[in-house]
Amino acid sequence: MLVVVCPGQGAQSPGMLAPWLELPSVAEAVGRASQATGLDLVAHGTTSDADTIRDTAVAQPLLVASALATLRAVLELDVSAPLGAAVADRVDVTAGHSVGELAAAAVAGVLTDDEALRLVAVRGAAMARAAAVTPTGMSAVLGGDPDEVLAALARHALVPANVNGGGQVVAAGTLDALAALAAEPPARARVVPLQVAGAFHTEHMAPAVDELRAAAAEVTPGEPGVTLLSNADGAAVASGAQALARVVAQVANPVRWDLCCATLLELGVTGLLEVAPGGVLTGLARRTLPGVETVAVKTPADLDAARDLVRRHASSAVPTSASSQEQSS
């Protein structure tokens, strides 16, 4: 059983799309994504610096576009093929971390690529505006006793915005509170500031929820063609409407990636594919999903390993097509 996971904000890095754009299918997909979002994602994925792509309004569309384009490359799909229908016999489960949940909704067929991209453009811009109201941020708390970590966050008026499992909780709140936590970390824990521009998944993002909800009201979601897990509680969504409502609410509510991982174990997932920019969720999976084989897609050099994982763990084999020659062309 195969799960495709889509990374969240903070996974981006300068130049991450440069090798991918040598593949004609990816270049076409990113070009279409630029039109859908109104952003030059080719430039942001190749020449923009770290500060530029740290901007929430840029980072989020860049991540969703990268996830969808690189999954199409793995599965050798034409850019015009509806993604949800094309993956239904190749992917069993999908989930996305934070903004990655919009990409996962497209993988499941709840949204089209263009709908996911238009919504993420609204989401990113709205969250950037909300973040500008008060200086806020997020820090990963690595290690420590879970109860002691949560107590320390409460003491500093911080929110456990991401509970990721594997001994990782992400604290969110004001910069002053995060600095105080770093100065007095929980026992046996490290506090690492994250490259994000605000306290996501907290009450600070409430204004962004209203903007995203208005945009989502213009979308008629499809029904999930594969099992789609929700960040809210790790459960599979019951309908496309529920999935979209949860994606909207998630902006100001915690991400429970630990519960998503628990559900993957319950479902009996055997293989995990993390689309580009892969690495973060695969690292968590190695600590939280024992026995599950993982592949992180970072560059086109990872395509062969990704396709092999799909062949061995998904519902059916991926057919070979001429597009597979792109990697060496």
- Give the pLDDT confidence of 161-197 residue by residue, as tens digits: 999 998 999 999 999 999 999 999 999 999 999 878 8
User: pLDDT at position 200, please?
Assistant: 95
Catalytic residue among 44, 97, 201, 313: 201
Confidence check: pLDDT of 319 > 50:
no
45 with 66: CB under 8 angstroms?
yes
Catalytic residue among 48, 66, 98, 230: 98
Question: Which backbone phi and psi does 261 adopt, to 5 degrees?
Answer: -65, -40
- Is 98 known to be catalytic? yes
Confidence check: pLDDT of 297 > 50:
yes
Supply the mean pLDDT for the chain: 93
- Give the pLDDT confidence of 83-112 residue by residue, as tens digits: 988 898 899 999 999 999 999 999 999 999
Question: How is residue 240 written in tokens?
Answer: 């496309």
Question: How is residue 28 written in tokens?
Answer: 């076409």
Cα separation values, 236 from 81, 113, 219, 240, 297, Å? 25, 21, 21, 11, 24
pLDDT band at 325 (very low <50, low <70, confident <90, very high): very low
Q: Kind and range of the H or E element at 67?
A: helix 56-75
Q: Which domains does the chain have, with CATH numbers?
A: 2-131+203-328 (3.40.366.10), 136-193 (3.30.70.250)
Confidence check: pLDDT of 29 > 60:
yes
User: pLDDT at position 323, please?
Assistant: 35
User: pLDDT at position 197, please?
Assistant: 80
Q: For residues 139 and 192, give the distance between their C-alpha atoms in angstroms, rounded to a whole number.
A: 5
User: pLDDT at position 316, please?
Assistant: 53
Looking at residues 195-206, what average pLDDT do you find?
90
% of the chain surpassing 70 pLDDT? 96
Q: For residues 141 and 296, give the distance between their C-alpha atoms in angstroms, rounded to a whole number.
A: 23
263 with 271: CB under 8 angstroms?
no
Say which residues have a Cβ less than 8 Å from residue 308's Cβ, sequence separation at least 6: none
User: pLDDT at position 166, please?
Assistant: 86
- This prediction has a pTM of 0.91
